[in-house]
Each structure stands twice: as C-alpha cells, then as structure tokens.
Amino acid sequence: MTDASSPLNRLMAKIEAATETLHAGEGEDVKRVKRLRGAMGQSFTTTIFAYQQASSVKDGLAFIAALTDKFPRENWIAVVAAEQFARPVNTLRTRYALHDTAALQEEAARVTGALDGADVLRLTRALIVYYAFLLRRLRDLLPFYELSVAFEGHKLVTGQAAISPVGKGIEDAQGQSRP
C-alpha cells in the first residue's frame, strides 16, 4: 500500500491533474504563452521558443528515464535527475511564463534526492507524459498551415518549384535539378 501523503505521491497527483488539464484544454501555462509578445509585439517567436524549450526539457527527461532504466540501483541517479529537473526552472518561468510547469519541475527536483531508482523512473515518466500534452497544446498555437503557404509561395517567387520527393535537390521552374 502506497502512502498517499508522501511528497512523491502528492507530486504525482499534481502532475496527473496537470496532465488531465492539458488533455482537456489549454491550461493556464498555455494561456500565458498565448499572451507573450516578443519583438515588435508579435507572439510567433515567443511561442515557438516556448515549444522548443519544452521539447528540450522533455528530451532531458527521456535521458534521465533511460539512465534510470539502465542503472536502477545506482544512488547517483537521484542526484543527476534532481539536477536535470531543476535546470530549466528559471527559463520556463521567466522567459516563457510556464509558471505551473516550472513549479512541477522545481518540486520534482526537491523530492528526487530521497527517491530510489524505481521512484525516479516513475516520476520521470509521469513528467514525460505531461510534456507530451504540453507540447501538443503549444504546437496547436503555431500557424503551420500559414507557414507552409508562405514557405511554398516564397519558393515559387524565387523560381524554386519544389524539393524532389526523394530529396535529390531543388527543381527550378523548368523542372531542371539544381544543387
């Protein structure tokens, strides 16, 4: 029987609730990212950089999960995991207004020192799932259709019709391959 009042179990409950919130809708972090403005009052760069930062954090979590899976009985795993959890907190909070995400990371760093390998892996996997939903919601903010139209339109204007389907180069308007 697990202790629901343990710091890990309380954190796991928070992560699961935050994941459910992102599954159901945007959540407060995503709403804050939508309101961020960068140079010239636009939001594209802040949104895409928030997405990139969250993706980078998720990659770091996957690294911790892989290490923990390979070395489950090593005491140093908790130290490395705590450092990895703490590393992005200030960036998430101050640059991208991902306050709730930063709080989860911060709490994960705080509780990890007392965990064994199995619990580090359990926590890390829960955070990976959370980030998958966060990334989905951040991705939904990005105008991929409009970017594609603009990109393809630029290629037509510059005389580059398309990259060949097999990746052999760019064809000009007359169908000739160019390097």
User: What's at 4, amino acid-wise?
Assistant: A
pTM to 2 decimals? 0.83
3 state DSSP class of 108: helix
Give pLDDT, residue 40.
86
How far apart (Å, rounded) are the C-alpha atoms in residues 54 and 106?
A: 15
146 alpha-carbon distance from chain centroid: 22
Give the tens place of pLDDT for each residue, 51-108: 999 999 999 999 999 999 999 999 999 999 999 999 999 999 999 999 999 999 999 9
**Domains of the chain, start order:** 7-142 (1.20.1420), 143-179 (no CATH)
Quickly tell me which residue has 């990334």 as its tokens. 135
Strands 160-163 and 177-178: unpaired
In contact, 73 and 117? CB cutoff 8 Å: yes
Q: In which element (H, E) is residue 45 found?
A: helix 44-70
Rounded Cα–Cα distance for residues 135 and 75 (Å)? 31
